[in-house]
Amino acid sequence: MHVPSLRSSILTALLIMSPLTFGATTAHAFCGFYVAGGESSLFNDATQVVLMRWGQRTVLSMQNNYQGPPENFAMVVPVPVVLQEENVKTLPPEIFAKTDNLSAPRLVEYWEQDPCVPNYYEDGMDMATSAESTADSAGGDTGGGVVVEAQFEVGEYEIVILSTDDATALETWLTTNDYTIPEGASTHFDPYVQSGSYFFVAKVKIDEVTINDGNAVLSPLRFYYDSPTFSLPIKLGLINSEGSQDLIVYTLGADTRYEVSNRPNVTIPTNIEVINEVRDDFGTFYRTLFAETVEQNPGAAVTEYSWSASSCDPCPGPTLNQEDFATFGADVLDS
């Protein structure tokens, strides 16, 4: 199966992804926000999300840049259905590093070759096609209007799935359970409450968390569900981000490339020739290029990379293999 990879960066608001070569489903933007017991200062500056879609099944994997102590940490994510324990698992963080390395910007050096010499080692490269299509938008009562629909443990997380028809009641439920809610949380909850979303709340088990320099090192989470809507709920993530929220989205699909359907899409300049001095500080060069692209296209989703996830030219490291695809969700897709 040819599996293209698309890496996009979004700095603000709601992301809706739509497939370009098959299906007519809709994709809504991250993935939640953090709440903490006491007066802990929490920052959510960067999130990596991997989306895999087949038919009406979405598999969402996310690694969040949480900075802070683990005490009473929790993550709140709107989901379209009630998730059960078999729908949720933790992932090894190395898989995100591998994906990031594969799709990261790269500076390469080529030299002119004799055109008369046959190249016996030339490999064909499959680029994902880009055909336009249309997307359609799209327990028990604990008191206070909040119902616990499911409750289970996965890895270092204690998870509850909540439902409510009142955003204020949801805020009250979290406050009652000793979480400090960022100011204005109920306002951010309300659009998801009105759309009928459930709320996935993942709380940390303190005695099972790795601590590094006083910060919790949390396992990435993966969950899957079936829904006609292909969406990524990022709006809550803006509640406690400091300034802009850096969101990197990788989408994996069979012979399919995705783009955002509810905001402008731009592609960062690639395959450009640069002066030799760039090799001494390519990181600064790329950051400047990205910042300029965002400044010229405010509110846009920036596509940084689109290619087959199992090949590259040149390769900065290992490509994704069948085991990696299974880790990101191919094991629960009906092929």
Q: Mean of the pLDDT values across residues 274-292?
A: 88
pTM of the full structure: 0.77
Q: Which of 4-18, 249-263, 267-281 has the lowest mean pLDDT?
A: 4-18
Domain membership of residue 120 (yes or no) is no
- Is residue 239 predicted with pLDDT exceeding 50? yes
Quote the domain boundaries for residue 318: 4-108+127-330
Q: Which of 96-110, 164-178, 224-238 has the lowest mean pLDDT?
A: 224-238
69-73, 208-212, 331-335: range with highest mean pLDDT: 331-335
Domain membership of residue 115 (yes or no) is no
Domain membership of residue 265 (yes or no) is yes
Domain membership of residue 117 (yes or no) is no
Quick one: what percent of the chain has pLDDT higher than 70? 69
The confidence score (pLDDT) of residue 240 equals 55
The confidence score (pLDDT) of residue 82 equals 97
Q: Which of 93-97, 311-315, 318-322 has the lowest mean pLDDT?
A: 311-315
Residue 94's pLDDT band (boundaries 50, 70, 90)?
very high
Residue 9's pLDDT band (boundaries 50, 70, 90)?
low
Q: Mean of the pLDDT values across residues 268-291?
A: 88
pLDDT tens, 70-80? 765 778 889 99
Domain membership of residue 303 (yes or no) is yes
Number of domains in the chain: 1
Residue 14's pLDDT band (boundaries 50, 70, 90)?
very low
Higher confidence at residue 90 or residue 73?
Answer: 90
- Is residue 121 predicted with pLDDT exceeding 50? no
Higher confidence at residue 143 or residue 62?
Answer: 62
Domain membership of residue 114 (yes or no) is no
User: If DSSP states are collapsed to H, E and C, what string results for the chain?
Assistant: CCCEEEEEEECCCCCCEEECCCCCCEEECCCCEEEECCCCCCEEEEEEEEEEEECCEEEEEEEEEEECCCCCCEEEEEECCCCCHHHEEECCCHHHHHHHHHHCCCCCCCCCCCCCCCCCCCCCCCCCCCCCCCCCCCCEECCCCEEEEEEEEECCEEEEEEEECCHHHHHHHHHHCCCECCCCHHHHHHHHHHCCCEEEEEEECHHHCEEECCEEECCCEEEEEECCEEECCCHHHHCCCCCCCEEEEEEECCCCCEEECCCCEEECCCCCCCCHHHHHCHHHHHHHHHHHHHHHCCCCEEEEEEEECCCCCCCCCCCCCHHHHHHCCHHHCCC
Domain membership of residue 113 (yes or no) is no
Q: Which of 37-51, 75-89, 222-236 has the lowest mean pLDDT?
A: 37-51
Domain membership of residue 87 (yes or no) is yes
